[in-house]
Chains A and B, each alone.
Chain A
């Protein structure tokens, strides 16, 4: 708990920055746009339509799509910028819609009276329509602020620090204290903002000075805090260029990023910045644009999702060589080397069954498949690996079940299912006495863990690359499984496991 609370200032600061800036921008865009929409008839439909469409985009996707978009524009593609843009877009609809509804809902008797006493269009808007629509507009702002606080937790995968760091890492490493701290902090922040906005609106409407002053000063203090903490790193400049280390959002990646970070600091004395829980392709895009300096990916993933190759019979070294050549030539991304293990889709069974049936390879499984139940994670049955397993082995299982990856291992150990699509480095394979079957017909492409670095790092800080080369070939699959297990089952932090690894060499 205290370990988690120690992270709170950084995560909460990030969250407050994102939320407040997005809401400010969202309001600054939506209210004027809403006003114009009530004046220009055809615009109303267009504006509400576009905002409505933005709203239907799943929020995580809306944030993730910003990364390649910004990268294409050659601006900072991970971190605050994509998160702020995504959150701002998302915040617009409730404010926009309520501005339009609020102004349109003003009793025509009042707008006519406004003209009758000699107001111009503009005076009518400022002195009559906006004040009368204010409660409705503020209701929209309150909806937005609650939405944005919640959605800001999804900024973590695009590289912006937020309370989502607790939630993403916590869920993946089964640290539910972290998840809880993140959720409670987000809920409290949402309540606070909602309360502030409400106090402000009521105070203004009822002409009460005290609540307005109180709410305004708290808001001003929050904005000042967000502004200062946002601007300070910019002013500090890049005198001491930190090495930015990324990780995707699962246990192994958290550990590897800590190992990389520790290694860099130990060998070069340079500071590092960790950006964790990044979305799968977000990390690669960020490396390519130079917003990230180093992270670990898997050869088969690059092969299929970046280079768009089909799973082939090509062996480990061929895929690795192809990835290295093509990334350097076409993407300006460099492969430092393979860490020494694969994290691949592998079929796993209870060791007792494997012995009883005399199995070693997947092809041995063919005659028994009709009596076995197969469990796979959500995406497995839609993946090329499953297709190619079918093509090469023609496995006809008695039944197929889709399950959560975190429950799969327990399910096979308890005998609920007989075969699962395991991740080959998951610690629970050893812990639950499971055995992996050898892919003797090469259906699953090799997934070698490889250290990738940006072009910028290669050119400007070659000493870092040299430091990373030390890690090449030092982690085998058993070692990785053991480290994963230490986090997942024993509750160690990824950093503690990484420190132990670095100390042991």
Chain B
């Protein structure tokens, strides 16, 4: 369980995240949704202390995240980065096994875990193990990124637009495998995206952010039915309009 309590980040005069409070229940996936620059990444990084909050607290299973040494905290939380984040000088095997290695797992256990994870993210272990990141497609890199975050069996996962840079087809496939993995593992997760479809598809609950504020919070259904203001309504409106447009095109374009 993750609790954000009036979490605030200021850079100089600029308030990037403003008194954000939020509760993520055990096993729940909460999506942080908002336009670019609204403070999603900053919020996520304050949870594992890659960014130190200016004010407020983060509690993990009731304990302040500040009470643990930073590196120990981070070894317990899987993090998938917005940009690459795979280490270019390490093989796929080495990238995935980093956190278990830092935790002094036995070589045998690590080897079994890596194979298991590669299977989980639907990659061929024998083929992938010794490749370097620059020998992988974007989709494969993101799968490895997810596998690396899951390597040390974390109970909490933070994902920062993990599928943002992928083509729609690959993104769709990855969203589905991730959805399956999550239900299989039951991790607690915070998932950042600016893509409403992705949010609706994956989120148990969605938190809409704007300019560092929490605008609305609710299940996908609540959000769709009951947008709190014009901003949210517009945001939800876009994919609705697009779906409508596609329907129209298909209807009209179908040969008789």
Contact = CB atoms under 8 A, between A and B. Distances in A.
Interface in A158-202: none
Contact of A205 (B48, B75, B89, B91): B89
A110 B87 CA distance: 7
A205 B81 CA distance: 25
Contacts of B241: none
Interface in B34-85: 48, 50, 70-75, 79, 81, 83-85
B74 A118 contact: yes
A116 B48 contact: yes
A2 interface: no
Contact of B102 (A110, A118, A207): A118
A209 to B, nearest CB: 14
A116 B70 contact: no
A113 B85 contact: yes
B88 A120 contact: no
Nearest to B149: A117
A109 B99 contact: no
A132 interface: yes
A115 B70 contact: yes
Interface string A27-45: 0000000000000000000
Interface in B85-102: 85-89, 91, 98-99, 102
A112 B79 CA distance: 11
B9 interface: no
A68 interface: no
Contacts of A118: 71-75, 98-99, 102-103, 152
A116 B81 contact: yes
A131 interface: yes
A118 to B, nearest CB: 3
B148 interface: yes
Interface in A109-128: 109-110, 112-120, 123, 127-128
A505 to B, nearest CB: 72
Contacts of A119: 71, 98, 102
A118 B102 CA distance: 8
A117 B102 contact: yes
A112 B50 contact: yes
A309 to B, nearest CB: 66
Given A115-B70, A117-B98, A120-B71, A109 B83 contact: yes
B84 A109 contact: yes
A123 B102 contact: yes
Contacts of A123: 71, 102
Contacts of A116: 48, 50, 74, 79, 81, 85
Contacts of A128: 87
Contacts of A205: 89
Given A116-B81, A117-B79, A132 B48 contact: no
A128 B101 CA distance: 14
Contacts of A109: 81, 83-85
B98 A131 contact: no
A453 to B, nearest CB: 61
Nearest to B145: A113
B50 A115 contact: yes
Interface residues of A, number: 18
Residue of B79, B89, B99 most packed against chain A (CB within 10 A):
B89
Contact of B87 (A113, A115, A207): A113
Contacts of A132: 87-89
Interface residues of B, number: 24
Contacts of A127: 98
A124 to B, nearest CB: 9
A117 B88 CA distance: 15
B128 to A, nearest CB: 16
Interface in A95-143: 109-110, 112-120, 123, 127-128, 131-132
Contacts of B74: 115-118
A132 B89 CA distance: 7
Contacts of A207: 91
Interface string B1-42: 000000000000000000000000000000000000000000
Nearest to B158: A116
Contacts of B85: 109-110, 112-113, 116
B99 A117 contact: yes
A85 to B, nearest CB: 36
Interface string B235-256: 0000000000000000000000
A112 B102 CA distance: 16
A131 B48 contact: no
A117 B70 contact: no
Interface string A403-416: 00000000000000
Residue of A116, A117, A123 most packed against chain B (CB within 10 A):
A117
B105 to A, nearest CB: 13
Nearest to B154: A118
Contacts of B148: 117
B191 to A, nearest CB: 16
B165 to A, nearest CB: 13
A118 B85 CA distance: 13
A131 B48 CA distance: 25
B81 A113 contact: yes
A120 B70 CA distance: 8
Nearest to B48: A116
Contacts of B84: 109
A110 B89 CA distance: 11
Contacts of A110: 85, 87-88
Contacts of A117: 74-75, 79, 98-99, 102, 148
Contacts of B73: 118
B179 to A, nearest CB: 23
A132 B87 CA distance: 9
Contacts of B83: 109
Residue of A116, A132, A205 most packed against chain B (CB within 10 A):
A116
A127 B89 CA distance: 9
A79 B177 CA distance: 71
B45 to A, nearest CB: 9
B68 to A, nearest CB: 11
A457 B211 CA distance: 87
Nearest to B102: A118
Given A112-B85, A118-B152, A207-B91, 17 more contacts: A110-B87, A110-B88, A112-B50, A113-B81, A115-B50, A116-B50, A116-B74, A116-B79, A116-B85, A117-B98, A117-B99, A117-B148, A118-B74, A118-B75, A119-B71, A127-B98, A205-B89
Interface of A: 109-110, 112-120, 123, 127-128, 131-132, 205, 207
- 10 closest cross-chain pairs (CB), A and B: A118-B75, A118-B74, A113-B85, A116-B79, A131-B89, A120-B71, A117-B98, A118-B71, A117-B99, A109-B83
13 contacts: A109-B81, A110-B88, A113-B85, A114-B87, A116-B79, A117-B99, A118-B71, A118-B73, A118-B74, A118-B102, A127-B98, A128-B87, A132-B87
